[in-house]
Amino acid sequence: MPTLKDLAKQKDPLSGGHRACAGCGAPIVVRQVLMASKDPVVVTCATGCLEVVTTIFPYTAWNVPFLHNAFENSAATCSGVEAAYQSLKRKGKIKSDHINFVAFGGDGGTYDIGFQSLSGAMERGHDMLYVCYNNEAYMNTGIQRSSATPKGAATTTAPAGKKIPGKQQFSKNLTEIMVAHDLPYVAQSAVGFWRDLTTKAEKAFSIRGPKFMNVLQPCRLGWAYDPSKTAELGRLAADTCIWPLYEVENGKYKLSYKPKEKKPVTEFLKVQDRFRHLKKPGNEAIIESIQKETDRRWEALLAKCEQ
Amino acid sequence: MPILAKTGNEAMAEAMRQINPDVVAAYPITPATEVVMIFSGFVADGLVDTEFVAVESEHSAMSACVGAAAAGCRVMTGTSSQGLQLMSEILPIASALRQPIVLCEVNRALSGPINIHCDHSDTMAVRDFGWIQIFSENAQEAYDNILQLIKITENESVRLPGMATTDGFIISHCMEKIEALDDNEVKEYLGEHKKMNSVLDLDKPVTLGALDLQDYYFEHKMPIIEAMKNSKDVILKVAKDFAKRYGREYGLIEEYKLADAEIALVALGSTCGTARVVIDELREKGVKAGLLKIRVFRPFPAEEIVKALSKVKAAAIMDRSDMYSNQGGPLFSELRSAMYEAKDKPLLTNYVYGLGGREISLEDIQKIFAEQKEAAASGKVKQLIQHFGVRE
């Protein structure tokens, strides 16, 4: 388990000075995941906020090899890099004993447009870690709904209008879909839990084969909150059980964090303007349904963890 | 040199076996399935030491190819029609990242309606993506073109991806005699793949695929345009060297009985074989007919075509695809544009033919030559663009 002191001593895989918004959680995810690697890393990245803010030519914030191909193919691209490594290693053309291949994608590039590419790469069993920095909407193009967007949230393609109050559907449970791929390691973490995130990344890197991590990443622009509250928002998501922290190793569920006191979902909703319209009279049923679905998913997860 | 009986697909797969690429990422599609299938057999039998990535789609095939090439590997794939279309988002990224990926393409009509037979609409639809495109008349050429493409695409002044094509079913599934190279000859001919700016270079980390806005994008397009220009000479040099080594000659174009021809047919791929038979017959009757085969479509050999047709009175430009522009097919459009400044040029007629595998017979080509004879005599073209062989 890495300590803060260990992490602080490491060479930063992603330098400062990039163009991410104040309070952006994405670089936090990247740095904490990559710093947990003892071996060299090679990164692929989907088109999206992370790629855009870190690689505006002629600048790059990446101190590790980085390849961006397109939006929906971070996993397939990474699988190609990994296959190349296996080939060159077998032929004795590369020295390095082991490299950790990491594919990053936002929820758009992972849950939606890149879902097939992700599923394919994981099924093929490449030795790689896929990390979704999940900010629950297409933030790069200006806050459009994704299948990761929670019910009730206002986005620019599911706005809070006079008749329809934001997104109508609950989010897709991608982590469970990845568990159904029978991967050796699947985990859910969030910004605001550095020890949880780095420990999970470290564990993922210790396992050979396909690994998947879904990391909730508050987006101050899309979620509309005070940019100093990013880590706090991630913690609130876990404390309300909206975003439980857990891991599944070889099919065995383990809860990583159980809040001392399970907070009502309103604690999470009320500090974000994407849910502001839910405070209006007449929208109580939406909040109730969010609470009910959160409880249902939490109980289902607990049951799996206790088995 | 072994003499083998191979279909177009088998010939391409055989070339792939001998090339022994570091990585192949591919997805099956009719009529190119066999290329992938046969190659998978080579992998399973340990005849190659390629890392074979059996992806879940052509989009992922090309994406993985880009990843593997960016890691410094010699990379190949194969596809056709819808598969090439699914790859098409990534094709210009492959060329912009200057990755010399080689693709075995089997020409097949694009949907819709869905059809599995030959026309050139798939290859033509991706002609503007910075890929070298070489058409093959038969299985022998398919084999030779694939080998030469490795040399062409990996040349440092080119470093662009390339595709060699055969005509679906007509060549891909038709067995012919081919003269192959010995395995060690291929190995010696191709040499080691040279990696550049590899993402596996841990000591010198590179960022590939950066965001490139209005202040740099244009400057970064120019080297790709230059590389395509350079590729013309490289294709010719590679062909010359190939001829010297193995005796078979290639160019950007090929002239058949064209030197003194009054009427000519200009075509790509398998139709050229049919045209040769008709031309021989016509020559016996004293008709001065000839063929101009376009081997390389990208880069487009404009000057060479203009020169080759300068003494011809009337020429039939054969397009196996339309492009819904009301200006005929892509070959006609580019050839006609190339003729604009030419002092001596033939009368041109565009024949859009053979869509969705509609057969083009000896009689059809005889008819086309008869029309050209008429045009040459009258000085008039009957109809600039004809959709030939379509029922009314």
Kindly state whether residues B310 and B292 are assigned to the same domain.
yes
pLDDT at B231: 98
Within a domain: residue B113? yes
Q: Which of B5, B213, B33, B238 is nearest to B134 (CA)?
A: B238
The CB density around residue A282, as the number of other CB atoms within 10 Å, is 8
pLDDT at B38: 98
pLDDT at A9: 86
Q: What does each C-alpha distance from B231 to B156, B163, B227 come to in angstroms?
A: 10, 13, 6
We report the CATH number of the domain holding residue B332 as: 3.40.50.920
What are φ and ψ of residue B213, in 5° steps? -95, -160
pLDDT at B204: 95
A248 with A185: CB under 8 angstroms?
yes
Nearest to A91 among B49, B55, B211 (CB): B49
**Length, in residues, of chain A:** 307
Q: Which of residues 163-182 of A touch B (CB under 8 A)?
A: none
Nearest to B60 among A82, A99, A117 (CB): A117
- Tell me if chain A has a CB within 8 Å of the CB of B96: no
Residues in A closer than 8 angstroms to B99, CB to CB, are none
- Tell me if chain A has a CB within 8 Å of the CB of B59: yes
Residues of chain B with pLDDT > 90, as a percent, come to 99
pLDDT at A95: 86
Q: A99–B202: do the CB atoms touch at under 8 Å?
A: yes
pLDDT at residue B186 above 90?
Answer: yes
Q: What is chain A's Cα-based Rg?
A: 19
Task: Give chain B's mean pLDDT.
Answer: 98
Nearest to B206 among A44, A65, A77 (CB): A65
We report the CATH number of the domain holding residue B217 as: 3.40.50.970
pLDDT at A8: 85
How far apart are the C-alpha atoms of B70 and B72, rounded to whole Å?
Answer: 5
Domain count within chain B? 2
**Helical H segments across B211-346, by residue range:** 217-246, 271-284, 302-308, 330-338
Kindly state whether residues B134 and B37 are assigned to the same domain.
yes
Kindly state whether residues B238 and B265 are assigned to the same domain.
no
- Tell me if chain B has a CB within 8 Å of the CB of A160: no
Kindly state whether residues B40 and B129 are assigned to the same domain.
yes
pLDDT at B361: 98
Q: Which of A272, A248, A244 is nearest to A259 (CA)?
A: A244
Amino acid in position B296: V
Prediction ipTM score:
0.97
pLDDT at A104: 98
For the record, the structure tokens of A73 come out as 């193919």
Residues in A closer than 8 angstroms to B202, CB to CB, are 40, 42, 65, 96, 99
- Tell me if chain A has a CB within 8 Å of the CB of B290: no
Within a domain: residue B157? yes
At B17 the three-state DSSP class reads helix
For chain A, list residues with pLDDT below 50: none
Within a domain: residue B155? yes
Q: pLDDT tens digit string along B1-11?
A: 899 999 999 99
CA distance to partner chain A, nearest, from residue B191 (Å):
15
pLDDT at A243: 98
The CB density around residue A261, as the number of other CB atoms within 10 Å, is 5
- Tell me if chain B has a CB within 8 Å of the CB of A58: yes
A221 with A143: CB under 8 angstroms?
yes
Within a domain: residue B144? yes
Q: A88–B70: do the CB atoms touch at under 8 Å?
A: no
Q: A94–B22: do the CB atoms touch at under 8 Å?
A: no
For the record, the structure tokens of B160 come out as 């662009």
Q: Which of B120, B161, B131 is nearest to B272 (CA)?
A: B120
At A181 the three-state DSSP class reads coil
The CB density around residue A270, as the number of other CB atoms within 10 Å, is 15
Q: pLDDT tens digit string along B208-241?
A: 999 999 999 999 999 999 999 999 999 999 999 9
Within a domain: residue B102? yes
- Tell me if chain A has a CB within 8 Å of the CB of B60: yes
Q: B59–A81: do the CB atoms touch at under 8 Å?
A: no
Within a domain: residue B61? yes
Final residue of a structural domain among B221, B246, B271: B246
The partner residues of B77 in beta bridges, in order of sequence, read B103
CA distance to partner chain B, nearest, from residue A233 (Å):
30
- Tell me if chain A has a CB within 8 Å of the CB of B200: yes
pLDDT at residue B170 above 80?
Answer: yes
CA distance to partner chain B, nearest, from residue A80 (Å):
4
How far apart are the C-alpha atoms of B9 and A196, rounded to whole Å?
Answer: 52
How far apart are the C-alpha atoms of B348 and B341, rounded to whole Å?
Answer: 15
A197 with A189: CB under 8 angstroms?
yes
Residues in A closer than 8 angstroms to B67, CB to CB, are 44, 67, 69, 76-84
Residues of chain B with pLDDT > 70, as a percent, come to 100
pLDDT at A210: 98
For the record, the structure tokens of A150 come out as 């929670």
Q: Which of A48, A124, A66 is nearest to B61 (CA)?
A: A124
Kindly state whether residues B108 and B188 are assigned to the same domain.
yes
Residues in B closer than 8 angstroms to A87, CB to CB, are 22-23, 49-51, 68, 73
pLDDT at A166: 96
Final residue of a structural domain among B187, B217, B246: B246
Kindly state whether residues B153 and B295 are assigned to the same domain.
no
Kindly state whether residues B277 and B163 are assigned to the same domain.
no
- Tell me if chain B has a CB within 8 Å of the CB of A123: yes
Residues in A closer than 8 angstroms to B73, CB to CB, are 84, 87-88
CA angle B34, B40, B45 (to 5 degrees): 130
Q: pLDDT tens digit string along B131-158?
A: 999 999 999 999 999 999 999 999 999 9
The strand ranges marked E within A136-240 are 185-190, 210-216
- CB-facing half-sphere around the CA of B102: CA atoms within 13 A: 29
Q: pLDDT tens digit string along B230-280?
A: 999 999 999 999 999 999 999 999 999 999 999 999 999 999 999 999 999
B81 with B110: CB under 8 angstroms?
yes
Within a domain: residue B392? no
pLDDT at A96: 81
* Average pLDDT rounded to a whole number, residues B347-370: 98
Number of H helices, E strands in chain B: 13, 16
Q: B49–A44: do the CB atoms touch at under 8 Å?
A: no
Candidates A39, A41, A53, A57, partner chain B, best to mutate (most B CBs within 10 A): A57
Kindly state whether residues B103 and B86 are assigned to the same domain.
yes
B178 with B246: CB under 8 angstroms?
no
B381: left (phi over 0), alpha (psi -120 to 50) or beta: beta
Q: Which of A52, A62, A2 is nearest to A32 (CA)?
A: A2
Kindly state whether residues B88 and B198 are assigned to the same domain.
yes
Kindly state whether residues B65 and B146 are assigned to the same domain.
yes
Residues in A closer than 8 angstroms to B76, CB to CB, are none
Kindly state whether residues B16 and B45 are assigned to the same domain.
yes
How far apart are the C-alpha atoms of B367 and B361, rounded to whole Å?
Answer: 10
How far apart are the C-alpha atoms of B173 and B167, rounded to whole Å?
Answer: 9
Q: b/e per residue, B131-155, with b = 16+ CB within 10 A?
A: bbbbbbbbbbbbbbbbbbbbbbbbb
**Helical H segments across A104-193, by residue range:** 107, 115-124, 174-179
Within a domain: residue B30? yes
For the record, the structure tokens of B221 come out as 């397009």
B4's enclosing H/E stretch is: strand B3-6
Nearest to B200 among A85, A116, A121 (CB): A85
- Tell me if chain A has a CB within 8 Å of the CB of B65: yes
The CB density around residue A237, as the number of other CB atoms within 10 Å, is 23
A262-269 CB contacts, 8 Å cutoff, 24+ apart? A262/A298, A263/A236, A263/A239, A264/A240, A264/A291, A265/A240, A265/A290, A265/A291, A265/A294, A266/A291, A267/A236, A267/A239, A267/A240, A268/A233, A268/A236, A268/A237, A268/A239, A268/A240, A268/A242, A269/A152
Nearest to A77 among B64, B205, B212 (CB): B64
- DSSP state letter for A112: I
Domain that holds residue B333: 253-387
Final residue of a structural domain among B193, B223, B246: B246
Kindly state whether residues B236 and B267 are assigned to the same domain.
no
